[in-house]
């Protein structure tokens, strides 16, 4: 019994717990001190929180693509961030057409604007989904039975291919996504002043997240995808078309990434060939944070990461007396990942994998 325990709790585990504990104490000290200084008003904190949710919901949309592909193929699709970038480009080109035809001119939200935004999002989602399917068909399917490292390296290659194709096609400069007059300024919701673009982004992403959840849980195709992710061979024996399920997974993941690209472009109004790299990396982090392979986990992880990035530098580092804390935003995000993985190696909601994990 005691021997068993000793084997389970090794030296490294204890060391990790100690490191984790120290970090936790530092975090708590930082938070308490910041709040005691009281430099920021309640409105500042809610602002930071809302900025975090809007950023986090975009992360969540991208993270879903990572997590779904991981769930079904056990591979990290590193080109996913570039699918997101492609979606932003498709959305940008469509938006430019609408802008030229005066769809964005009206000072208030009207039918024309809503129609334009929906079409822009649909075009971006369709374009990105098409690209994702092509990628799967050309780059990943031939390697389905290859060792796990092979598709991973291929994915990195595909990522570079996409980035530099867009660089070659559209140049390296930053393209400004059209500014929509009706979405300028703030709107009051439950007494909280929120930027209108952020309202659009948050609402749109939550609608998509719920739609995806229903699709995976309720629809026949969604159940087929779950079956394939549990056991490809058994699913095939039960009459499920494995190739088609995998294709649909890429399609859905790509469409979400494409839509996320448009939302991101709405928020930050910059479109360029390398824009997918960092959001992709962050979304991957979010997927791991939430528990990779777990769809609800990706959503939670994305939101958590977004809020942490926006809130924590101010909340934790400011109290510790660290100057210019926002340059440490990324370091903090990844530190958070380490912390979560120390205490919960399978992520916040746990890795949902079949017992027959490769």
Given candidates 167, 189, 210, 211, which one binds other proteins under the rule CB under 8 A? 167
Spatial separation of the C-alpha atoms in residues 85 and 92, rounded to whole Å? 10
157 binds other proteins (CB under 8 A): no
DSSP state of 78: T
21 binds other proteins (CB under 8 A): no
Spatial separation of the C-alpha atoms in residues 35 and 40, rounded to whole Å? 8
Q: Which stretch binds other proteins (CB under 8 A): 94-102, 120-128, 248-256, 318-326?
A: 318-326
Beta carbon of residue 306, minimum distance to other proteins (angstroms, whole number): 9
Spatial separation of the C-alpha atoms in residues 27 and 340, rounded to whole Å? 13
Say whether 272 sits in a helix, a strand or coil: coil
Spatial separation of the C-alpha atoms in residues 325 and 15, rounded to whole Å? 28
Closer CB to other proteins, 178 or 222, in the complex: 178
Given candidates 314, 319, 337, 342, which one binds other proteins under the rule CB under 8 A? 314
148 binds other proteins (CB under 8 A): no
105 binds other proteins (CB under 8 A): no
118 binds other proteins (CB under 8 A): no
Binding mask 37-76 for other proteins (x = CB under 8 A): --xxx-xx--xx--xx--x---------------------
Positive or negative CA dihedral for 118, 178, 79, 201? negative
E strands, the chain, where? 175-176, 186-189, 192-195, 270-271
Angle at 171 between CA 330 and CA 93, to 5 degrees: 90
Q: Which pair of structure tokens corresponds to residue 160?
A: 């570079």
Beta carbon of residue 228, minimum distance to other proteins (angstroms, whole number): 29
Closest to 34 (Cα-Cα) out of 325, 329, 303: 325
Beta carbon of residue 334, minimum distance to other proteins (angstroms, whole number): 13
The residues of the shown chain that bind other proteins, judged by CB under 8 A, are 39-41, 43-44, 47-48, 51-52, 55, 167, 172-176, 179, 193, 195, 264, 267-270, 272, 274, 277-279, 309-311, 313-314, 318, 323-327, 329-330
């Amino acid at each position: 019994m005691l021997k068993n325990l000793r084997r389970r709790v090794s030296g490294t585990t204890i060391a990790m717990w100690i490191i984790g504990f120290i970090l936790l104490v530092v975090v708590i000290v930082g938070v308490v001190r910041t709040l005691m200084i009281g430099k920021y008003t309640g409105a500042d904190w809610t602002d930071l929180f809302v900025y975090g949710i809007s950023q986090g919901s975009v992360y969540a949309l991208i993270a879903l693509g990572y997590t779904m592909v991981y769930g079904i193929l056990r591979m990290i699709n590193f080109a996913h961030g570039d699918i997101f970038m492609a979606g932003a480009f498709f959305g940008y080109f469509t938006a430019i057409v609408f802008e030229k035809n005066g769809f964005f001119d009206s000072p208030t939200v009207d039918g024309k604007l809503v129609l334009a935004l929906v079409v822009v999002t649909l075009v971006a989602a369709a374009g990105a989904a098409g690209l994702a399917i092509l990628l799967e068909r050309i780059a990943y399917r031939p390697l389905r039975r290859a060792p796990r490292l092979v598709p991973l390296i291929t994915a990195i290659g595909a990522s570079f291919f996409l980035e530099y194709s867009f660089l070659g096609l559209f140049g390296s400069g930053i393209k400004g996504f059209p500014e929509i007059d009706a979405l300028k300024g703030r709107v009051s919701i439950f007494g909280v002043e929120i930027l209108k673009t952020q309202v659009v982004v948050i609402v749109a992403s939550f609608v998509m997240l719920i739609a995806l959840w229903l699709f995976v849980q309720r629809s026949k195709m969604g159940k087929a995808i779950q079956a394939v992710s549990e056991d490809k061979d058994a699913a095939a024996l039960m009459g499920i078309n494995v190739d088609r399920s995998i294709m649909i997974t890429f399609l859905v993941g790509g469409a979400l990434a494409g839509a996320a690209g448009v939302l991101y472009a709405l928020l930050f109004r910059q479109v360029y060939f390398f824009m997918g790299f960092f959001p992709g990396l962050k979304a991957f982090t979010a997927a791991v944070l939430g528990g990779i392979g777990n769809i609800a986990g990706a959503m939670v992880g994305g939101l958590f990461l977004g809020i942490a990035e926006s809130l924590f530098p101010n909340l934790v580092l400011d109290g510790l007396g660290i100057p210019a804390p926002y340059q440490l935003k990324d370091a903090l995000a990844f530190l958070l990942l380490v912390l979560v993985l120390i205490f919960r190696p399978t992520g916040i909601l746990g890795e949902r994998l079949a017992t027959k994990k490769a």
